[in-house]
């Protein structure tokens, strides 16, 4: 028998089509709940670095859509890792795989229930990886998740990563959203 995961996960793919709304461009690919099915899927799809710019992959717990509006996300926010352009070749795929393994392996211990999913944005101006959590007001959980993420990605202690509340991202006027937490 296959090795079961604690949760069932859904992979989403976003491709930028200007004739459709952002929501219509989000496509549900497939769901899985075993280690073997995860690797079968991972080995079958393009690496993040090979996606067309403007595309995203999202992996979310089944039942949570990869959008701010979902009931699972609307009180939440994300830890955001902004990559430099040159990191697409060195780090993007490694970071994204490590984030996927953190999610399906429930690497956040007592706080894994607060994980909703993760998103990789492939962008010309610099790629981004976000880890989305359910409730921005649960500060201990948010901070512990951020610390563990930083450890697991081997991000140097002097590099600061920030957590942004989705409501702030949604309502932002400029190009940057304020950080509510940093680690």
List of residues contacting ligand M7G (CB under 6 A):
22-23, 67-69, 121, 123
The DSSP 8-state label assigned to residue 134 in this structure reads S
* Residue 26: CB minimum distance to ligand M7G, A: 9
* Least distance from ligand M7G to the Cβ atom of residue 56, Å: 6
Number of Cβ within 10 Å of residue 11's Cβ equals: 21
Give whichever of 13 and 68 is closer to ligand M7G, judged by the CB atom.
68
User: In terms of CB distance, is 107 or 119 closer to ligand M7G?
Assistant: 119
Q: Toward ligand M7G, which CB reaches closer, 123 or 138?
A: 123
The CA-atom distances, in angstroms, between 66 and each of 20, 71, 90, 152, 173 are: 17, 11, 26, 23, 22
* Cβ closest to ligand M7G, residue 22 vs residue 39: 22
Q: How near is the Cβ of 95 to ligand M7G at its closest, in Å? A: 16
* Minimal distance, residue 34 CB to ligand M7G, in Å: 28
Exposure string of 35-56, with b = 16+ CB inside 10 Å and e = fewer, is eebbeebeeeeeebbebeeebb
Nearest to 75 by CA among 142, 165, 162, 144: 165
């Amino acid at each position: 028998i296959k090795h079961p995961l604690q949760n069932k996960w859904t992979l989403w793919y976003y491709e930028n089509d200007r004739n459709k709304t952002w929501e219509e461009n989000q496509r549900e690919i497939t769901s899985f709940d075993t280690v073997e099915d995860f690797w079968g899927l991972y080995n079958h799809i393009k690496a993040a670095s090979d996606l067309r710019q403007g595309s995203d992959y999202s992996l979310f717990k089944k039942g949570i859509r990869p959008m701010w509006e979902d009931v699972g996300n609307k009180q939440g926010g994300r830890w955001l890792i902004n990559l430099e352009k040159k990191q697409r070749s060195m780090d993007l795929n490694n970071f994204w795989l490590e984030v996927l393994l953190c999610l399906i392996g429930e690497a956040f211990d007592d706080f894994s229930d607060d994980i909703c999913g993760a998103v990789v944005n492939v962008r010309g101006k610099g790629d981004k990886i976000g880890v989305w959590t359910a409730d921005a007001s649960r500060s201990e959980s948010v901070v512990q998740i951020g610390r563990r993420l930083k450890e697991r990605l081997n991000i140097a202690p002097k590099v600061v990563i920030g957590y942004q509340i989705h409501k702030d991202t949604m309502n932002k006027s400029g190009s940057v959203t304020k950080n509510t937490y940093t680690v």
